[in-house]
């Protein structure tokens, strides 16, 4: 079972949600978050990177609930019946509802096992004073699902879902958003297929030498 070590830093309070609704079809191995990489699931790798940076952590999923419960004791947020198959934006809405008292809610996808260990501090340090959303980017692209959100954005996200919006970017573009550039693109690699899985496994093996 996955163990967690949460941050006790006195800085701005941050809770996190791991968005674990993907099916991993290109990996041909079922639930993406539960695909194994170097002896651990992708979900466990993400939790290990994120948990020390936040005060609380939960998982958003829409199936395989019992398998998640066997893996970790973290809160499991199941998609509401009217929000199933609406993508990561539904998980973000859940997270903002679940953590209303924190300064920020961090969202991260389950297929990014190399996330920076200073992700939260870097995002917060570069935020504009009036930012509603702070999202990561690198030299290659923006990572809209790797972001800090103000909990009071929950009504806006729910309205977007109700109007048929499914793009996280579509909501962010309506907010006071700050993009924070990170130098190392490899830290944001998405494991979408066997090629990425092999590349990350090789990188982890090299780091352990």
Q: Under a CB-based contact definition with an 8 Å cutoff, are residues 89 and 160 in contact? A: yes
d(CA 151, CA 2): 27
Tokens of 164: 């048929």
Q: What is the pTM of this model?
A: 0.90
pLDDT digits (tens, 9 = 90+) for 20-64: 976 555 554 568 899 988 889 999 999 999 999 999 999 998 888
pLDDT at 95 over 60: yes
Residue 176 phi, psi dihedral angles, 5° rounding: -80, 95
pLDDT at 197 over 90: no
Tokens of 208: 């352990």
pLDDT at 10 over 70: no
Q: Enumerate domains of the chain plus CATH numbers.
A: 14-207 (3.90.550.10)
Tokens of 74: 């973290």
Q: Left (φ > 0), alpha (ψ -120 to 50) or beta: where does 39 sit? A: left
């Amino acid at each position: 079972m996955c163990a967690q070590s949460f941050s006790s830093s006195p800085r701005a309070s941050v809770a996190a949600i791991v968005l674990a609704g993907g099916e991993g079809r290109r990996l041909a191995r079922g639930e993406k978050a539960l695909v194994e990489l170097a002896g651990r699931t992708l979900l466990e790798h993400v939790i290990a990177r994120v948990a020390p940076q936040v005060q609380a952590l939960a998982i958003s999923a829409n199936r395989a609930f019992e398998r998640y419960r066997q893996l970790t004791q973290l809160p499991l947020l199941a998609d509401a019946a009217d929000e199933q198959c609406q993508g990561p934006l539904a998980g973000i809405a859940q997270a903002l509802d679940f953590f209303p008292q924190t300064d920020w809610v961090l969202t991260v996808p389950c297929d990014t096992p190399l996330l920076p260990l200073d992700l939260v501090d870097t995002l917060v340090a570069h935020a504009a004073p009036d930012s509603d959303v702070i999202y990561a980017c690198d030299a290659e692209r923006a990572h809209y699902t790797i972001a800090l959100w103000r909990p009071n954005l929950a009504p806006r996200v729910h309205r977007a879902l109700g109007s048929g919006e499914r793009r996280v970017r579509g909501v962010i573009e309506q907010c006071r958003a700050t993009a924070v550039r990170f130098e190392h693109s490899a830290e944001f690699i998405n494991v979408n297929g066997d090629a990425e899985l092999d590349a990350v496994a090789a990188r982890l093996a090299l780091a352990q030498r």
